[in-house]
Structure 1
Amino acid sequence: MATEAASIDIAPAPQPVKAVHPLASLQEDELRTITRLVKEHNPGQVCSFRRALLIEPPKAEVVPYLEAELEGRPRPRPPIRRGQALFYFEGRQEYMEAIVDITNGRMLGQRHLVGEHGPGSDEEMLKIGAAALASSLVKKEVERLQLPANCQVIAEPWPYGSDESDTPTRLSQVWFFLNYEHNKDHPSANFYGHPLDFSCVVDIATMSVTRIDRLPSNLGMSNTDPNARFVPNADSEYAPELQQNGLRRDLKPLHISQPQGVSFDVGADGETISWQKWRFRCCFDVREGMVLRNVTYDGRPVFYRMALSEMMVPYGDPREPLHRKSAFDLGECGAGQVANNLQLGCDCLGVIHYLDGLSVSPDGEPAIIPNAICIHEQDAGLGWKHTNIRTGRADVTRARELIFQLIVTVGNYEYALYWILDTAGTIHYEIRATGIMSVTPSAPGVDLSSLGYGTVVADGVFAPHHQHIFNLRIDPALDGYRSNAVVYDDTFAMPREPASNPHGVGFEVKTTQVDKEQAFDLDWTTNRVVKMINPNKVNKHSRKPIAYKVVAPPTQLGLFDPSSMHYKRGEFTDNHIHVTKYADDELWGSGEHMWQSRGGRGGCNAWANRGRQLEDDSVLWLTLGFTHATRAEDWPVMPCEVFRMHFKPVGFFEQNPALDVAPSTQNVNKSRLAFDGNGTQTQEAAVEPACCRPRL
């Protein structure tokens, strides 16, 4: 953030914006205040806005407000609301930042972000694609290929992944695909099934093609045939009506019913959520997607802030120009194209509520993203159960989850991102990756099975292996906002000793305090568990600090060389865990501006390596994800790859927090047998089966 920018005296706005909660998302009138002040400060310039964001209020000023709110005391004056505008002047390359005092309606400063580039936008991607297709260089390549008649060439712009050489101008790498005539008018025609053998680079400032990059399609590292022609290949369609073998007809309806409505409540502000004993704010941010703020359970603070800070998708194909594929989907594209869940493919069942998102249009007006976040409850199976074998009585409850879903389409891929809260005090984070793999051409008749960095998934289609690496930033507030720390537990076998382990069966947990900023990894060999603790509050039974632990598999980290640009840009990909000292402006795992970034400008790795002493103000950065070794079953559209991890209480409660969940009974669950004793399928009005009758 431009905290060092020079102060500029501007008269206060004649109509200050209305006061809101200090942790509330950016409001429409606040966004208008930001962009209006920027325009007034730059007369004679046309400002093209990329982002208008709320700057996180200083935590030291927010905490007294939250404490008074929890305790029912008069609340102090809320912190001044500040906003950040990121924009270009039309026709110029300088990437600009302005900082605005929203509360008092005045500019605080403006600067040129030297060496930085702004994120993409949907409008800009369309312009880049059109400019590429209009280029004489691209038209020459299309003529060379001698494509089938009446087909359609599709341009797909990507952020330009940095090379070792400096790239001072803002660039885009554009890939090309083909739609055959017979399917080109279908809205879901899969043009990715027909990759062309060239790419181009576009200078975004001038919207001109600066060079053509030929794509390798055989066992060599480059395409050496200047006269290569396009060889038609079969379609790879995923749309239901384009399936030649038809669709399954044996799936009968499955309806989810909540006849009394939902169990959650959304406050008048549109983002304060109450469900069971949870209360928190679910906010939308165009940089991070969903942000959970001030998460409390039964009136006790648990987390101050939880958000996905970054995700990186590095590709393992070493051939030029494919080596530049290393998309930073949040930093480079904002939150991508967030789906309108009500209209664009919501998959939720039952009773659903939606929260809108807020972005900025290039002209500085609010852009509402309707139904950006989907909220619903879901049955999560067995909660807890025990049968007393002496009496035969069974006590059982069902678990329930509150789901917050945001789906982001980033070019070819879809990411479904979930924050999930349950009835046992656990918070889950889930990622589902689907969509279409990014592919390159495969020369006909050439066996590419010896290439270890990808798979031929259809005739003419090569899918490089790649990774999806995510980073969560977690700011704990366990039973208080002023005291938190991080430890990790390792489990070891005890040495066999006559006094302490005479039979050689003992094993024990050893705790390591993280007292300085540092990075380290999860370790399955020692069952390493990372815990966020409040060192000043202990569980009355265990006499250990109350905690929430991270439950996540130690997934593979970045696979690129430490000297590579992938490594330098992906600051969070070197370790599973980074622990840093809290700072208001350290929010993103690889830094703030990612388009053509070259690393070294701040990120959780650099911050962890400072090694400063931690003083009740630890922030946890968690890196997770999966390596996608491509397979034929992922084509032409990928079944969801699911990753789920958990934040579970450890000594935060004195007993199972789900003991008071109402028991599972037949009059609520309405279970019934599918088949009667003769093997005949029962009807909807069948009598309650003996197996499902309550045992209480």
Structure 2
Amino acid sequence: MTLTAPSTTVSHPLSRLTAEEITAVSTIVRDAGLVKESSKFVYMGLEEPHKRDVLAWSPGQPVERRVRALLLDRATGNGRDLTVSITGAAVVRDDEIDGVADGQVPILDAEFEAIEPILAADERWVAAMAKRGLDVANVRAVPLSAGSYFPDETGDRVVRVLGFHQADPADLPWAHPVDGVVAYVDITRGVTTAVHDHFDLPVPAERADLDQATHPHPVRDLKPIEITQPEGPSFTVDDDVVRWAGWEFRVGFDAREGLVLHQLSIDGRSVVHRASIAEMVVPYADPSPVRFWQNYFDVGEYLFARYSNPLELGCDCLGEIHYFDGTLADEDGAPRVIRNAICLHEEDYGVGWKHTDLFNGMAETRRSRRLVISFFTTVGNYDYGFYWYLYTDGTIQLESKATGIVFTSAYRGEDHPYATEVAPGLGAPFHQHLFSARLDMAVDGTGNTVHEVEAVRMPMGEANPYGNAFMKRSTPLTRESEAQRLGDATVGRVWHVVNPSKTNRLGQPVGYALHPQNSPVLLADDQSSIHQRATFSTKSLWVTAYDPAERYPAGDFVNQHPGEGGLPTFVADDAPLEDTDVVLWHTFGLTHFPRPEDWPVMPTDYTGFTLKPVGFFDRNPALGVPQSTSTHCSSHDS
């Protein structure tokens, strides 16, 4: 059958997928005979061209559009990995996914929704609830990714399920965990393979309603704050290209990674070719037989950007705002629009630079400002916000915000030291939130070298007679085997990405420095299953030579993958890294020992990292920030 290539209106190789393109991909795949009645589209995303092709492309040249699509046959559990050429109206790659060696495709919403009826039909689950005086109809089944633990599950699509009691539609189930019971479900066959009733603990009774009767709290009397920009915002948006205060970048959005920044530059000089959150894992610390398996890869197993929030509903951004809709494919291959999925605005950020001089009488102040581009996603109980900040001094920052509801258990007492009691009889197990930022660097070009830079104390001696000296040590990371590093706050360890062929006016190579927050990496034992599957999170930094196929630090198919996927495979060839096209993979995150203050809804916690220019500019790039003319900024003279 000959297909006609659909028309496309995109103007750039990295333009976001349109609804028309998603429909075209679905049609091409169906016409190729690859979609059965039991098939579902798990994922659809732009297959981005090679970096060299993007950099060589000029406006007006043809745009080749290819899309990666993952299919699941729900009747068999088999997955397919496709590349579809929209331009050529053809499926150009069709690979079967080996569920044993490769892992499983991500979990569908339709699979999650099928769990409660499956459990309601299982006598063991019904009996376990009845034993606790609960009607199964009032128990919310929470299906969670299964990990990789038992040989008899290898190759099967499974989830593990915990129960939470919900007394009425307004009740928050997370307040009432039915602890001691866990069910294993084969979601392809639609059967419960096991129900383990390990112990019987009281179901916590206190509700989590946010009212004074349930949770008395002092009322804070705050006057309104209005953010206004009478002359409008300082940024412009043209075909997803944002320009602001010398910065320029292209907005991307993907069902797996969420917000992506492409071709980030300042003053016409490139800094980062592509930046995204490529994976995150949430490993729990409770070794209980009910929940030892709890660890979630929200990006690779759940495709967390599918759950992006429409941002105007909750006053998520303030000021003069530009919203971007997110267009994704639903499980039937049809376009689905998330209205206002991405928020763009600018905000004041205090004093940028200031000096009052006693000799020449100068008194100068410039306020800092930052451009904010963000999205928020809700994955089960947790809500995550990802905020990219660009500053007037050339700084780039990523801040991840974690809020929502902590995952709960029954509190078993101080003899089970893996959880905090946050309400009467209610526990919150210890856990980590570990993110991996993929930073495809291009510091003033693609020939870059990464140096590990740290402070060195100098011993007292002839060259340091008073013992006050310390120096800076810079060590190039020349091969992938050398570029697997841990942070070290005791020596102020940072990593400089420099371009050895470009220098500033002082003859120094231009560069940007990655400043980590130096939080713990993965705390699980080296022999654990989660260590094998989330090896990326055992190091603060990995550096790899650019390869367009290396997109995800835990591998392409994270769900039930046995381990060693992603970065351990990427670095196996020990590629050289000097003066070449490099990608930084930075692990950062939170180690969460919950507090009573985290209940019934968690105050936002923060983590992230910073990229700061080091010799990239000849002088302070914020010198050009104008004096404030706001009526809120006054002097004694006025």
Structure 1-normalised TM-score? 0.86
Please state how far the C-alpha of 1:76 moved relative to its aligned partner: 7.8
Following the alignment from structure 1 to structure 2, what is the Cα–Cα distance between the partners of residues 294 and 376? 19
In the alignment, what sits opposite 1:7?
Answer: none
Q: Matches of residues 572-611 of structure 1 in structure 2 within 5 Å?
A: 572-600=536-564, 602-611=565-574
Please state how far the C-alpha of 1:105 moved relative to its aligned partner: 1.1
Q: Matches of residues 349-368 of structure 1 in structure 2 within 5 Å?
A: 349-368=318-337
Counterpart contact for 1:519–1:609, Cα < 8 Å: no
Amino acid at match of 2:632: K
Match of 1:165 among 151, 156, 159: 151
Following the alignment from structure 1 to structure 2, what is the Cα–Cα distance between the partners of residues 166 and 558? 27
Counterpart contact for 1:35–1:85, Cα < 8 Å: no
Following the alignment from structure 2 to structure 1, what is the Cα–Cα distance between the partners of residues 637 and 382? 48
In the alignment, what sits opposite 1:530?
Answer: 495
1:552 equivalent in alignment to 2:516: yes
In the alignment, what sits opposite 1:234?
Answer: 206
Match of 1:369, SS state, is strand
Pair 1:78–1:567, CA change in 2 (3 A): farther
In the alignment, what sits opposite 1:686?
Answer: none
Question: Residue deviations 1:507-564, cap 9 Å, x none?
Answer: 11121111111301121222111011111011222x2210000112221011111221
Counterpart contact for 1:578–1:605, Cα < 8 Å: no
In the alignment, what sits opposite 1:474?
Answer: 439
Q: Matches of residues 648-663 of structure 1 in structure 2 within 5 Å?
A: 648-663=612-627
Following the alignment from structure 1 to structure 2, what is the Cα–Cα distance between the partners of residues 146 and 415? 35
In the alignment, what sits opposite 1:121?
Answer: 108
In the alignment, what sits opposite 1:623?
Answer: 587
Question: Residue deviations 1:199-228, cap 9 Å, x none?
Answer: 2122111222221123xxxxxxx52xxxx4
Q: Matches of residues 251-290 of structure 1 in structure 2 within 5 Å?
A: 251-267=222-238, 269=239, 271-290=240-259
Stretches of structure 2 that go unaligned for 5 or more consecutive residues are: none
In the alignment, what sits opposite 2:476?
Answer: 513
Please state how far the C-alpha of 1:643 moved relative to its aligned partner: 1.4
Following the alignment from structure 1 to structure 2, what is the Cα–Cα distance between the partners of residues 341 and 401? 23
Following the alignment from structure 2 to structure 1, what is the Cα–Cα distance between the partners of residues 150 and 504? 53
Match of 2:623, SS state, is coil
Match of 1:87 among 68, 71, 75: 71
In the alignment, what sits opposite 1:42?
Answer: 33
Please state how far the C-alpha of 1:392 moved relative to its aligned partner: 4.3
Following the alignment from structure 1 to structure 2, what is the Cα–Cα distance between the partners of residues 151 and 19? 49
In the alignment, what sits opposite 2:265?
Answer: 296
Please state how far the C-alpha of 1:158 moved relative to its aligned partner: 1.1
In the alignment, what sits opposite 2:216?
Answer: 245
Pair 1:344–1:596, CA change in 2 (3 A): farther
Counterpart contact for 1:589–1:604, Cα < 8 Å: yes
Counterpart contact for 2:183–2:195, Cα < 8 Å: yes
Match of 1:396, SS state, is strand
Pair 1:151–1:174, CA change in 2 (3 A): closer
Following the alignment from structure 2 to structure 1, what is the Cα–Cα distance between the partners of residues 224 and 136? 42
Match of 2:123 among 124, 131, 136: 136
Pair 1:82–1:15, CA change in 2 (3 A): closer
In the alignment, what sits opposite 2:189?
Answer: 206
Following the alignment from structure 2 to structure 1, what is the Cα–Cα distance between the partners of residues 136 and 50? 59
Match of 1:378 among 347, 371, 375: 347
Counterpart contact for 1:240–1:247, Cα < 8 Å: no
Following the alignment from structure 1 to structure 2, what is the Cα–Cα distance between the partners of residues 174 and 565? 19
Counterpart contact for 2:453–2:475, Cα < 8 Å: yes
Match of 2:370, SS state, is strand
In the alignment, what sits opposite 1:687?
Answer: none
In the alignment, what sits opposite 1:561?
Answer: 525
* CA RMSD between the two structures: 2.2
Amino acid at match of 1:193: A
Amino acid at match of 1:531: H
Pair 1:130–1:392, CA change in 2 (3 A): farther
Amino acid at match of 1:451: H
In the alignment, what sits opposite 1:688?
Answer: none
Stretches of structure 1 that go unaligned for 5 or more consecutive residues are: 1-9, 70-74, 215-221, 672-691
Match of 1:99 among 68, 76, 83: 83
Match of 2:419 among 448, 451, 454: 454
Please state how far the C-alpha of 1:378 moved relative to its aligned partner: 1.2
Counterpart contact for 1:404–1:419, Cα < 8 Å: yes
Match of 1:613 among 571, 576, 580: 576
1:390 equivalent in alignment to 2:376: no
Match of 1:329, SS state, is coil
In the alignment, what sits opposite 1:432?
Answer: 401
Please state how far the C-alpha of 1:135 moved relative to its aligned partner: 3.4
Counterpart contact for 2:438–2:586, Cα < 8 Å: yes
Counterpart contact for 1:13–1:106, Cα < 8 Å: no
Following the alignment from structure 1 to structure 2, what is the Cα–Cα distance between the partners of residues 14 and 22? 17
Match of 1:36, SS state, is helix
Pair 1:242–1:266, CA change in 2 (3 A): farther
Counterpart contact for 1:11–1:106, Cα < 8 Å: no
Match of 1:357, SS state, is strand
1:193 equivalent in alignment to 2:175: yes
Following the alignment from structure 2 to structure 1, what is the Cα–Cα distance between the partners of residues 92 and 224? 58
Query: How many residues end up aligned between the 2 structures?
Result: 629
Counterpart contact for 1:194–1:460, Cα < 8 Å: no
Please state how far the C-alpha of 1:487 moved relative to its aligned partner: 0.9
Please state how far the C-alpha of 1:133 moved relative to its aligned partner: 3.4
Question: Residue deviations 1:80-101, cap 9 Å, x none?
Answer: 3211110123422111111111
Following the alignment from structure 1 to structure 2, what is the Cα–Cα distance between the partners of residues 436 and 555? 22
Structure of greater Rg: 1
Pair 1:14–1:523, CA change in 2 (3 A): closer
Match of 2:275, SS state, is strand
Question: Residue deviations 1:576-603, cap 9 Å, x none?
Answer: 1101111011011111111111112x31
Amino acid at match of 1:479: D
Following the alignment from structure 2 to structure 1, what is the Cα–Cα distance between the partners of residues 459 and 3? 71
Match of 1:670 among 616, 632, 635: 632
Please state how far the C-alpha of 1:56 moved relative to its aligned partner: 1.8
Following the alignment from structure 1 to structure 2, what is the Cα–Cα distance between the partners of residues 528 and 44? 51
Following the alignment from structure 2 to structure 1, what is the Cα–Cα distance between the partners of residues 368 and 214? 38
Following the alignment from structure 2 to structure 1, what is the Cα–Cα distance between the partners of residues 432 and 148? 18
The worse-fitting range, judged by mean Cα deviation, of 417-426 and 252-261 is 252-261
Following the alignment from structure 1 to structure 2, what is the Cα–Cα distance between the partners of residues 92 and 194? 35
Counterpart contact for 1:62–1:79, Cα < 8 Å: no
Counterpart contact for 2:330–2:336, Cα < 8 Å: yes
Counterpart contact for 2:177–2:203, Cα < 8 Å: no
Please state how far the C-alpha of 1:62 moved relative to its aligned partner: 1.4
Amino acid at match of 2:182: S
1:55 equivalent in alignment to 2:47: yes
Following the alignment from structure 1 to structure 2, what is the Cα–Cα distance between the partners of residues 79 and 581? 26
Please state how far the C-alpha of 1:110 moved relative to its aligned partner: 1.3
Following the alignment from structure 1 to structure 2, what is the Cα–Cα distance between the partners of residues 137 and 200? 9
Percentage of matched positions with identical amino acids: 35
Following the alignment from structure 1 to structure 2, what is the Cα–Cα distance between the partners of residues 512 and 241? 58
Q: Matches of residues 331-342 of structure 1 in structure 2 within 5 Å?
A: 331-342=300-311
Following the alignment from structure 2 to structure 1, what is the Cα–Cα distance between the partners of residues 631 and 399? 26
Following the alignment from structure 2 to structure 1, what is the Cα–Cα distance between the partners of residues 19 and 71? 18
Amino acid at match of 1:159: S
Please state how far the C-alpha of 1:308 moved relative to its aligned partner: 0.7
Please state how far the C-alpha of 1:454 moved relative to its aligned partner: 1.3
Question: Residue deviations 1:597-640, cap 9 Å, x none?
Answer: 1112x312332353221251221111111211122111121111
Please state how far the C-alpha of 1:285 moved relative to its aligned partner: 0.7
Match of 1:452, SS state, is coil
1:693 equivalent in alignment to 2:635: yes
Following the alignment from structure 2 to structure 1, what is the Cα–Cα distance between the partners of residues 60 and 428? 57
Pair 1:64–1:403, CA change in 2 (3 A): same
Following the alignment from structure 2 to structure 1, what is the Cα–Cα distance between the partners of residues 280 and 204? 35
